[in-house]
């Protein structure tokens, strides 16, 4: 898969979106090729982008040595998995070359705030995704407040 | 009555058309059978193929297992994996993957990112569900030793 709309359609986090919402959201993403060893995000830096994996493998290193490996198309790397209060809290390293779709955090959170119905659906799906992928990373008290990310 | 008159009177044209059609169809069928004869001869020579035709399809293996089977370590990679194993032995049973990567980089192992990814794909390194990872010695022995 290489089309952002297709990925959004397949992603368990965004599968709940309607066609119009998916089209608007897709416009915010830009594709980036990634190479093994690239650092996509560094802990303590300003959180500029969230990422949606197209192909390849990334290692998400968290506090206290914890980590998660993501390698499925449609894996979303954002919200508390990546940042808190506008700061990256994890470091994202590429293990296997491929590509990701990057979305500016501000634009993404603005979309969430504007589209309240879509936001609710995304956040519900996100909690399910997080339970399956990295339940140990859930530590945001109020997921309805975008500034938490 | 003779000649064409006799043919018309006895439905000769129709009979001849039917006859030609039967002969032509027969020849076409015969040529199809001859064209496929090599398949029958192949089965005759190798009866195990007949069994395979009736054998039930095996259920598809899970995707992870397929991936695990797809990764084949070259000899040089096996050496790197053994070096990873040595690094893991210096760590706790439930170890940190970023820490292992850091150690691999410090130790100047070859292609640390790719090889770490292969260890994950082959399930030699397995997530424990709490953010840490364990080393599957059985899988390591199976794939590397």
Mean pLDDT value across residues A86-115: 91
Q: What is the pLDDT of residue B120?
A: 92
Output the pLDDT for position B63: 52
By C-alpha distance, the chain B residue nearest A57 is B117
Give the pLDDT mean for A78-99: 91
A122-148 pLDDT, tens per residue?
888 888 898 888 888 776 444 455 555
Closest CA to A81 of A16, A134, A119: A134
The overall average pLDDT reported for chain A is: 87
Pairing, β A49-61 against β B125-127: unpaired
Query: What digits encode the pLDDT tens for the residues B100-139?
Result: 999 999 999 999 999 999 999 999 999 998 899 999 999 8
* Structure confidence at residue A141 (pLDDT): 45
Mean pLDDT, chain B, as a whole number?
86
Least confident of A29-33, A37-41, A54-58, A129-133: A129-133
Please list every residue in chain B whose beta carbon sits closer than 8 Å to the beta carbon of residue A57.
117, 120
Average pLDDT on A98-122 reads: 88
pLDDT of residue A1: 55
Query: Distance from B98 to chain A by nearest Cα, in Å?
Result: 6
Provide the percentage of residues in chain A whose pLDDT is more than 90. 48
**Mean pLDDT throughout A34-53?**
94
Distance of CA B71 to the CA centre of its chain: 14
Please name the residues in contact with A15: beta carbons below 8 A apart, sequence gap of 6 or more: A9, A125
- pLDDT-derived band at A47 (thresholds 50, 70, 90) equals very high
pLDDT at B59: 59
Contacts of B98 in chain A (CB under 8 A): 59, 61, 65, 67, 91, 93
Give the CATH number of domain A4-134. 2.60.120.10
Res. A87: pLDDT tops 60: yes
Q: Tell me which of B19 and B53 has the higher pLDDT.
A: B19
ipTM of the complex: 0.85
Give A20 to chain B, closest Cα distance, Å: 33
Q: Do A65 and B131 touch (CB under 8 A)?
A: yes
Across the range B34-46, mean pLDDT stands at 85
| Rounded Cα distance, A84 and A142, in Å | 12
**Number of helical H runs and strand E runs in chain B:** 8, 2
Residues of A in contact with B111 (CB under 8 A): 36
- Which residue, among B144, B107, B109, has the nearest Cα to B125 in the 3D structure? B144
Q: Cβ of B97 and A67 within 8 Å?
A: yes
**Highest mean pLDDT pick, A77-81, A94-98, A121-125, B72-76:** A94-98
Number of Cβ pairs < 8 A linking chain A and chain B: 55
103-132 in chain A: CB under 8 A from chain B: none
Residue A147: predicted pLDDT = 53
Nearest to B117 among A57, A65, A137 (CB): A57
Query: How confident is the model at residue B57, as a pLDDT?
Result: 62
- B66 Cα to chain A: minimum distance (Å): 15
Supply φ then ψ for residue B132, to 5 degrees: -115, 175
pLDDT value at residue B58? 61
* Domains in chain A: boundaries: 4-134
In this prediction, residues B7-16 reach a mean pLDDT of 90
Nearest CA in chain B to A132: B129
């Amino acid at each position: 898969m290489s089309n952002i709309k297709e990925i959004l359609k397949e992603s368990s986090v965004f599968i709940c979106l309607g066609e119009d919402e998916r089209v608007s959201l897709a416009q915010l993403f830009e594709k980036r090729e990634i190479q093994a060893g690239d650092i996509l995000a560094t802990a303590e830096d300003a959180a500029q982008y969230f990422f949606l994996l197209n192909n390849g493998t990334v290692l998400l290193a968290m506090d206290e040595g914890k980590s998660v490996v993501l390698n499925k198309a449609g894996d979303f790397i954002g919200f508390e998995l990546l940042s808190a209060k506008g700061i990256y809290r994890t470091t994202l390293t590429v293990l296997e070359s491929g590509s990701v779709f990057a979305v500016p955090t501000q634009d993404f959170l603005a979309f969430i705030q504007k589209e309240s119905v879509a936001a609710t659906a995304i956040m519900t799906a996100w909690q399910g995704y997080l339970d399956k992928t990295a339940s140990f990373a859930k530590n945001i008290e109020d997921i309805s407040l975008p500034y938490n990310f | 009555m003779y000649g064409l008159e006799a043919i018309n009177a006895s439905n000769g044209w129709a009979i001849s058309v039917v006859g030609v059609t039967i002969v032509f169809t027969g020849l076409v069928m015969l040529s199809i059978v001859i064209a496929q004869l090599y398949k029958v001869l192949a089965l005759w020579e190798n009866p195990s193929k007949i069994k395979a035709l009736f054998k039930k399809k095996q259920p598809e293996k899970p995707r992870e297992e397929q991936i695990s089977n797809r990764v084949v370590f070259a000899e040089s990679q096996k050496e790197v994996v053994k070096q990873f194993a040595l690094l893991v032995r210096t760590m706790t049973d439930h170890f940190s993957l970023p820490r292992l990567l850091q150690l691999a980089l410090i130790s100047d192992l070859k292609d640390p990112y790719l090889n770490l990814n292969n260890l994950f794909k082959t399930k030699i390194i397995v997530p424990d569900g709490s953010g840490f990872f364990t080393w599957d010695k059985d899988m390591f022995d199976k794939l590397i030793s």
